[in-house]
Structure 1
Amino acid sequence: MKKLLWFLVGVAAGFVLAHFVNKDPRGREVLAEVDARIAEFTERIGDAYRLEDARLGGTDAAAAASGSTPAA
């Protein structure tokens, strides 16, 4: 129970810290850069997942990479 309490305190402290960092223009730039990197990472992971799914499923990999479904 004590570990859960410390976890919740840490999460709350993180939110408070992010709020204060976001008030500063330089901090806002840093948070925007971190957000952009996370978005790029998740996009790459999604693309890799779709390609692997297409490879294993036997569908057209190029269609999977573009996000469209192949014609039957």
Structure 2
Amino acid sequence: MKTLVWFLFGVAGGFVVAHFMNKDPRGHEILADVDARITEFTDRIADAYREQESRFAGLVEDARGAAAETVANAKAAASDAADAASETARKLTD
């Protein structure tokens, strides 16, 4: 509980210091620079996330296509096997 109080005190103190810094032109410049760097960082992270997301989407689509092809091949093989078994049964009964 004591740690939480100190944490909240530090956050509140940071807001107060930032408010006073923002009033001074040099402080305002520093805060604007920090804000620009944070924005640049978050933009880079967002771009990297979108790039990875598109890569995964491509991999999933490739896997989906391969699975569909495998299912189609399995159906064809099962159909061929059923036809062969049916043909064999017909020959045995004749």
1:6 alignment counterpart: 6
Q: Superposition pairs for residues 22-61 of structure 1, below 5 Å?
A: 22-58=22-58
Question: Is 2:22 aligned against 1:16?
Answer: no
| CA distance, structure 2, for counterparts of residue 48 and residue 27 of structure 1 | 32
Shift of 1:9: 0.4
**How many residue pairs end up in the alignment?**
59
- List runs of 5+ in structure 1 lacking aligned partners: 60-72
Q: TM-score, normalised by structure 1?
A: 0.79
Q: Which has the larger radius of gyration?
A: 2
Uncovered stretches (5+) of structure 2, i.e. residues with no partner = 60-94
Percent identity reads 68
Quote the RMSD (CA, aligned, Å).
1.1
**TM-score normalised by length of structure 2:** 0.61
CA–CA distance in structure 1, aligned partners of residues 20 and 3 of structure 2: 26
Q: 1:29 offset after TM fit, Å?
A: 0.3
Superposed structure 1 runs of 4+ greater than 2 Å apart: none
Pick 1 or 2: higher relative contact order, CA cutoff 8 A, min separation 6: 1
Structure 1 residue 56: deviation in Å? 0.8
Read off the aligned partner of 1:35 and give its amino acid letter.
Answer: D
* Higher normalized helix content (fraction of residues): 2
